[in-house]
A = this chain, B = another copy of it.
Amino acid sequence: MFDFTLDAAEGSARAGRFTTPHGEIPTPSFMPVGTLGTVKALSMEEVEALGARMVLANTYHLYLRPGHELVRSLGGVHEFSRWRGPMLTDSGGYQVFSLAGTRRIHDDGVEFKSHIDGSAHSFTPEFVMEIQRALGADVVMAFDECPPGGCDRATAERACARTLAWLERCAKRFGELGCEEPGPSQALFPVLQGNVFDDLRDEHARRVRELGEWAGFGIGGLSVGEAKPDMWRTLEVLDDALPTDRPRYLMGVGYPDDLLEAIARGCDLFDCVAPTRNARHGTAWTSEEGQVNLKAARFRDDTGPLDAACDCATCGRYDRAYLRHLVVAGEWLAMRLLSIHNLRFLVRLGEEARSRIGEGSFDGWRRDWLQRYRKEGSRQ
């Protein structure tokens, strides 16, 4: 039910196809985040129309509200959210570790308090597998410990050891659940840790690979505050350490320029809340002007589209003057129209990278694209 085919490669950049029970994802591919079973402000028809192929949902959030057992009884997260294509649920680990001050980590798992009502909860590797089984996404992520960017080596080492121990427990429970009950066909991705310590990354990846034949790998512990050159170097270490015939999902990335840098270093799948969070602040990405904020006075009477090179529903129908008006007035429609554009921008970037890799023109295109984007972005 799960397969990854490499169609082309250029340097470390790869054009592949990841097959899941709910369909195929041509890679590289950006995955919109549908935290609570909805991509903020959008309908799933809109998410589909903008070309997204796989959608994320958050285990932590759905566990708290409406509850994983309710989602199961309603037919699982696909049926619940009306997304018919491939889905992935994260492990909730990143969320509960972010609850600084209200969570306690120990070897068995994490105790934490709900951000909604302060009620006490506990995640163990086994329980997280049970929750994700109930949600029923195609890809489920192992429960890992993600230390903050800039942590010292000893902290990173401890997190790697714990993540490895938890991975064994996740894999065991995941296997049991697949045998015990009827349910969806799912694949478990391990999450790779090791911060920006090259030898730790290499060692951790090797030990994870020894634990099983994984259908794909999650790359965790990046985009958490480390310097960009450290992130790129770490991806290069992992590019050597990971098998080429499995998809690599770089978690929490990212911005358009980060996406291209990571694609160049062999990453295939991505997710980030930036497209929708930026939309909420009136910020949009453009091909020719980099990142712009629609509140700027210069857009007041600008009757051009947000991005003349974009094929999204927003750019096809609305002009900058109207979008600026909606943003300034705080209208709900602003959030929606900018989200559609920003998501399409990243999805299209993946599509174009794939096509360029197929032609062997990816690297030159990427350099030109980044130079133009960054130059314009720095002028804002």
Contact = CB atoms under 8 A, between A and B. Distances in A.
Interface of A: 36-38, 40-43, 65-66, 70, 73-74, 80-82, 300-301, 303, 317-319, 321-322, 324-326, 328-329, 331-333, 335-337
Contacts of A42: 333
A320 to B, nearest CB: 11
B82 A325 contact: no
B43 A325 contact: no
B41 A333 contact: yes
B329 A74 contact: no
The 3 closest A-B pairs by CB, nearest first: A41-B332, A66-B325, A38-B333
Determine which residue in A42, A322, A328, A337 has the highest number of CB atoms from chain B within 10 A of its CB, and name it: A322
A41 to B, nearest CB: 4
Nearest to A321: B74
A332 B82 CA distance: 16
A40 B74 contact: no
Contacts of A43: 333, 336-337
Contacts of A318: 82
A300 B73 CA distance: 11
A326 B80 CA distance: 11
Most buried by B among A42, A82, A325, A326: A325
Contacts of A337: 43
Contacts of A73: 301
Contacts of A82: 317-318, 322
Contacts of A322: 37, 74, 80-82
Contacts of A40: 331-333
A70 B38 CA distance: 36
Contacts of A74: 301, 303, 319, 321-322
Contacts of A326: 36, 38
Contacts of A81: 322
Given A40-B332, A322-B81, A70 B301 contact: yes
Nearest to A80: B322
A245 to B, nearest CB: 38
A301 to B, nearest CB: 6
A66 B332 CA distance: 16
Nearest to A326: B38
